[in-house]
């Protein structure tokens, strides 16, 4: 996937494109217009708080085996079907559908939205979109984003992202360890970093001890965090 980051006030807009070997596939080319073809809308997706989206059930079934299973349980005589998807923002879900249908580019407002899109692609078993989001996230790896992306890579089982972030954290430990995200890493990840043979710390052992102390004191149970880190 390719991206550009365009400043927009205090935000950065991520403009994301899926690779052409996906978007130029004959089936995807045929599906590109389906999200906006109201004549095929037979499914209403509820996101909570009164927000909903109309869509083609056939389109959803083709895009995701999860939707296929959900919709197969709703075969009824009436034309319309309804799905409830809790905890999902409407515009993120629409971006997921657009990408899966080969619509380029899709605009996201933050790295957090990119991670959420990867989570949804994993949840609804859309591996091509998920892998593209993983590749995209790696491109935005910096000291400030490393810990957040490392946690996302671990939670979503995105191995390429997790490996890239871990290697970056080893190489740039002094910069990564002073970010707020570092304090949110779990004890196994912090311990693995501190004990790794490839850990690079120009300032010496004192910088490592200072980072460990900051991490320990940041938790609600500092003594317990310290014991877990040293065990």
Give 169-210 pLDDT, tens digit per residue: 999 999 999 999 999 999 899 999 999 999 998 878 888 889
For the stretch 182-190, contacts whose Cβ atoms lie closer than 8 Å and that sit 24 or more positions apart, written own/partner, are 182/147, 182/211, 182/214, 182/215, 183/214, 183/215, 183/218, 183/219, 184/147, 184/151, 185/147, 185/150, 185/151, 185/215, 187/225, 187/228, 187/229, 189/150, 189/151, 189/154, 190/215, 190/229
Number of Cα atoms under 13 Å in the Cβ half of residue 212: 18
Task: Give the pair of three-digit tokens for residue 123.
Answer: 């949840």
Q: How confident is the model at residue 48 (pLDDT cuts 50, 70, 90)?
A: confident
Note whether 169 and 146 are within 8 A (CB): yes
Q: Where are the domains of the chain?
A: 1-140, 142-231
Give the per-residue pLDDT at 118.
93
> pLDDT tier at 217 (50, 70, 90 boundaries)?
confident
Q: pLDDT digit string (tens) for 199-213?
A: 998 878 888 889 998
CATH architecture of structural domain 1-140? 2-Layer Sandwich (3.30)
Q: Please give the average per-residue pLDDT across 163-172, as a whole number.
A: 97
Does the pTM surpass 0.85? The reply is no
Q: Are strands 11-17 and 106-108 parallel, antiparallel or unpaired?
A: antiparallel
Beta bridge mates, 16: 3, 106
- DSSP, res 145: T
| CA-wise closest residue to 175 among 206, 148, 207, 205 | 207
Interatomic CA distance for residues 170 and 197, integer angstroms = 9
Beta strands in 49-144 (DSSP E): 51-55, 81-84, 106-108
Query: Beta partners for 107?
Result: 15
**CB of 67 within 8 A of CB of 60?**
yes
Average per-residue pLDDT for the chain:
85
Q: What is the pLDDT of residues 79-91, one digit of tens each?
A: 568 888 888 999 9
Angle at 23 between CA 40 and CA 30, to 5 degrees: 30
């Amino acid at each position: 996937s390719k991206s550009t980051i365009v400043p927009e006030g205090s935000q950065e807009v991520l403009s994301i494109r899926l690779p052409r070997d996906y978007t130029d596939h004959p089936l995807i080319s045929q599906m590109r217009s389906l999200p906006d073809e109201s004549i095929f809308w037979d499914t209403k997706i509820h996101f909570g708080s009164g927000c909903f989206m109309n869509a083609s059930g056939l389109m959803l079934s083709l895009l995701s085996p999860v939707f296929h299973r959900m919709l197969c349980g709703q075969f009824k005589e009436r034309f319309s079907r309804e799905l409830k998807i809790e905890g999902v923002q409407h515009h993120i879900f629409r971006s997921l559908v657009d990408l899966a249908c080969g619509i380029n580019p899709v605009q996201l407002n933050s790295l957090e939205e990119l991670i959420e899109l990867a989570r949804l692609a994993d949840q609804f078993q859309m591996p091509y979109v998920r892998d593209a989001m993983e590749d995209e996230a790696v491109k935005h790896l910096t000291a400030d984003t490393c810990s957040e992306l490392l946690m996302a890579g671990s939670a979503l089982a995105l191995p390429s992202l997790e490996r890239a972030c871990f290697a970056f954290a080893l190489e740039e430990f002094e910069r990564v360890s002073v970010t707020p995200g570092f304090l949110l890493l779990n004890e196994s990840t912090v311990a693995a970093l501190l004990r790794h043979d490839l850990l690079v710390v120009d300032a010496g052992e004192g910088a490592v001890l200072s980072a460990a102390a900051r991490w320990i004191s940041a938790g609600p149970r500092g003594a317990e965090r310290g014991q877990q880190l040293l065990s």
